[in-house]
Structure 1
Amino acid sequence: MRNITLLIVVIFTLLSCKNQENTQSIDKHIDKTPTVEIPQFAKSGLDSIVAKVATTNGCRMTASIKGPNTKAYYSGFDGRTNETISTFNELYEIGSCTKMFTATSIFQLIENKKLKLDDYLTSFLPNQSLYKDLLTIDGKTYIDSVKIINLLNHTSGLPEYFLEDEEKVVELYSDPSEVFTPERLINMAKSNPDQNVFIPGTKFTYCNTNYTLLGMIIEKLSKQSYQEYIQNNILNPLELKDTYFGSQYPLAKRPQGHYKDKVTLTPFTLAGSAGEILSTLDDMRTFITAWNKGKLFEDPNTLNTIKNDYFNSMVLNVIYYGAGVTNIMEQSLGHGGQTFGYGSYVGTIISNDYTFSFSIDDATVSSWYPAIETTALLNKIK
């Protein structure tokens, strides 16, 4: 969810210094009956990655890996208490991993002939007052040039609504009951002093405003709320019974994440369709497995497009971003999440269909380092 303008610096600093309306259920048991063991080197390697992240950063990290024909393996360590974790069904904020749910929904609507990738944003949300001054460069407005694909792969040129100063964001939005509508978030983007706008299609810049607008499009075309659409077309079919919308989850039961070792509870509506979902390690692996096998789409060409087209470089030769999915080193597909309390990642290995998910309970700890390391580790399994 958070702005990742400094992604390159974060990744290489870490690498160097801290060496489920569809009422029919899709079969949740997508993988075959376990017949083989996860190699010991992969288990040990995951343990090492988890322990390193947790102890180096004084945080709590849990992770899970699974092959197509294996049982799941779990690893966890609490760097605050120096204790091994043995419980792995806890909820965590998945942050921008929510974007995979949002992008999946858009592609489902494309399959249902509701829209196309080359359609323009303003064709579906023709709100001149909403867009006034949102994307103006040298006195010329470019909002009419923004296409659906530009929103999906962050090439729209739209401004971010989050300030780059994360500590300021945590300070400003510390009331978890505060409500942010999509319109309010877009107005925040208009007034953001840290704007980095550009002509649509000419650059890549990760921007949560894109997915706020995609959420609005989902509501407009499906005639359901964003949450209802995701529930009916993804959560229910996949039987993701431990996945929730933060804006609808009881505040008293909310998991506690941290920012610089302090508990933070920013409003989930500050993220919405860009990052409001809560889930568990198992549910996230179930989601990415179903996604990877095309269980959420009717046409095989849909998934082929998502997996292979519309990618732009985030970090040269390391990370690429496509239509709601990241590609790490041409070895894994998935998405990372960063709220103001958690870091997370969910991925699937291209060569062998192994899946992984993890949660880190401190927002200042980058999820990219363990995602890269876990990708490299699981890619060694033949």
Structure 2
Amino acid sequence: MKMSFLRKTNIPQILFLSLVLASCGKDKKAVEKEIVTIEDTLPKMKPLAAEKKISQAYINSVTGRINHFYTKNWPNNTMNGSFLVARNGQIIFERYNGFANKNEGTTITADTPLHIASVSKVLTASAILKLVNAGKIELDQKVNTILKTFPYEDCTIRMLLTHRTGMRNYAYFTDHDKTVWDRHDQLTNKDILELLATKDIGLETKTGTRFSYCNTNYAMLALIIEKITGLTYKEAMSEMIFKPLGMTHTYVFDDDKERKKIVPSYKGNGVEIGFDYLDNVYGDKNIFSTPRDLLKFDRSRNSPDFLKPELLKQVYTGYSNERKGEKNYGLGIRMINWNSGQNYYFHNGWWHGNTSSYITLMNEDVTIIALSNKMTRKTYAVRKLAPIFGDYPFNFKDEE
């Protein structure tokens, strides 16, 4: 058969075929090299080096109060979710209870990823900050220098991070007007940008004048991550944060592929909550994780390698000062600043029946995380644990 092929094939054809194959080989190597180059130049979060081990005596001194708080808030282990308290990266207390999927009879364990809702913003902000830290973008760079069709000329990356762009929430302007969006179609981040650019979506307030919490800001930040890295948001978050930190149970939800795989959420009465047209938007939400994985993330954010000191200082600066008050918002993190000088940093989340709370007590190296896939506001009550570890003026007894 080989001889027959050679007799029927002239030399120019053979040479052409060889050149094509050689070219394909070079193209493949070039693509592989390009992928490696992109990944090698990505700024990545690093695990915090070994921290000072806490004593068993200290653990014993605090676990009683934590357990008392837990059983009072969720009697008979009625919490449907995950709960963890750690110091110096060492877990002091954790509980996992309730159904992951009621229909399948699966229960929530330490390895069950739950939707962390707006706590996703802290991770999105961290990826942006790593890109700033690496000099790939600037905090005060205008958004339209990266996203060319972005229509609001004065908006900067810093304003997106701090919710000071004045933009309207995409969930509202796509819900109330059928001429803007057909809710039978899944909305994506790129769709939001296209609508902003073509549908004359006006600002709620003048850019830079006041704080207005808005998910649209973080949907745009996700697109910036994609534009700068050349990767999808899902790939970029994996390469920059999840893989380097060993967050093996954390991922960005792909609504087109993973609806049947994820842990669903439930109303307070136990009725499962379905999906809607907003479930394909990421950056502001749509990360699934576990408390143990988020603990790794928190410790990395508290490592000297996270950001340069001058940039780190800006992360924990409050930018919403048009009204006097203790509550404020930094670069992707909520805060309470008391007159005593004590500061409290956290972020809460809610999406469908999922609620979440991430607390980092930086002075005490304490991490508190609560996630639930059954609607409850008790998830947010975990802030009342802060006085166990430091001088935080929350009334612990109010939550008992």
TM surpasses 0.5: yes
> Which band: TM-score by shorter chain?
0.7 to 0.9
User: 1:38–1:66: 8 Å Cα contact kept in structure 2?
Assistant: no
Give % identity.
20
Aligned to 2:94: 74
2:358 counterpart (346, 352, 374):
346
Task: Say if 2:281 is the partner of 1:259.
Answer: no
SS in 1 for 2:218: helix
Per the alignment, do residues 377 and 225 of structure 1 end up closer, same or farther by CA in structure 2, a change over 3 Å counting? same
User: 2:118–2:349: 8 Å Cα contact kept in structure 1?
Assistant: yes
User: 2:86–2:93: 8 Å Cα contact kept in structure 1?
Assistant: yes
Moved more, 346-355 or 155-164: 155-164
Aligned to 1:216: 223
Q: 1:115: how far off?
A: 1.9
Q: Deviations over 1:94-141 (max 9, x none)?
A: 1111111111111111122222111111121121xx63xxxxxxxxxx
Task: Say if 2:309 is the partner of 1:287.
Answer: no
User: 1:257–1:361: 8 Å Cα contact kept in structure 2?
Assistant: yes
Aligned to 1:162: 171
1:198 counterpart (192, 205, 218):
205
| In structure 2, C-alpha distance between the alignment counterparts of 1:58 and 1:158, rounded to whole Å | 39
| In structure 1, C-alpha distance between the alignment counterparts of 2:83 and 2:359, rounded to whole Å | 12
Larger RCO: Structure 1 or Structure 2 (Cα < 8 Å, ≥ 6 residues apart)?
1
Moved more, 21-30 or 303-312: 21-30
| In structure 1, C-alpha distance between the alignment counterparts of 2:94 and 2:182, rounded to whole Å | 34
TM-score of the pair, normalised by structure 2:
0.71
1:26 counterpart (46, 53, 57):
46
User: 2:45–2:306: 8 Å Cα contact kept in structure 1?
Assistant: no
SS in 2 for 1:303: helix
Larger radius of gyration: 2
Residue correspondence of structure 1 range 13-92 to structure 2 within 5 A: 21=39, 26-27=46-47, 30-40=50-60, 42-54=62-74, 59-68=79-88, 70-76=90-96, 87-92=109-114
Per the alignment, do residues 159 and 38 of structure 1 end up closer, same or farther by CA in structure 2, a change over 3 Å counting? farther
| In structure 1, C-alpha distance between the alignment counterparts of 2:50 and 2:182, rounded to whole Å | 40
Q: 1:76: how far off?
A: 4.9
Amino acid at match of 1:109: L
Aligned length: 333
Aligned to 2:385: 374
Task: Say if 2:334 is the partner of 1:326.
Answer: yes
SS in 1 for 2:170: coil
| In structure 1, C-alpha distance between the alignment counterparts of 2:50 and 2:317, rounded to whole Å | 23
Per the alignment, do residues 266 and 51 of structure 1 end up closer, same or farther by CA in structure 2, a change over 3 Å counting? farther
TM-score of the pair, normalised by structure 1:
0.74
1:153 counterpart (158, 162, 174):
162
| In structure 1, C-alpha distance between the alignment counterparts of 2:291 and 2:198, rounded to whole Å | 37
Unmatched 5+ stretches in structure 1: 1-20, 80-84, 132-142, 167-171
Aligned to 1:302: 311
| In structure 2, C-alpha distance between the alignment counterparts of 1:296 and 1:181, rounded to whole Å | 30
Q: Deviations over 1:284-326 (max 9, x none)?
A: 11101111224433x2332222123535599942x32111011
| In structure 1, C-alpha distance between the alignment counterparts of 2:45 and 2:141, rounded to whole Å | 31
Aligned to 1:110: 132
User: 2:83–2:369: 8 Å Cα contact kept in structure 1?
Assistant: yes
| In structure 2, C-alpha distance between the alignment counterparts of 1:269 and 1:300, rounded to whole Å | 36
Aligned to 1:10: none
Per the alignment, do residues 49 and 185 of structure 1 end up closer, same or farther by CA in structure 2, a change over 3 Å counting? farther
User: 2:319–2:328: 8 Å Cα contact kept in structure 1?
Assistant: no
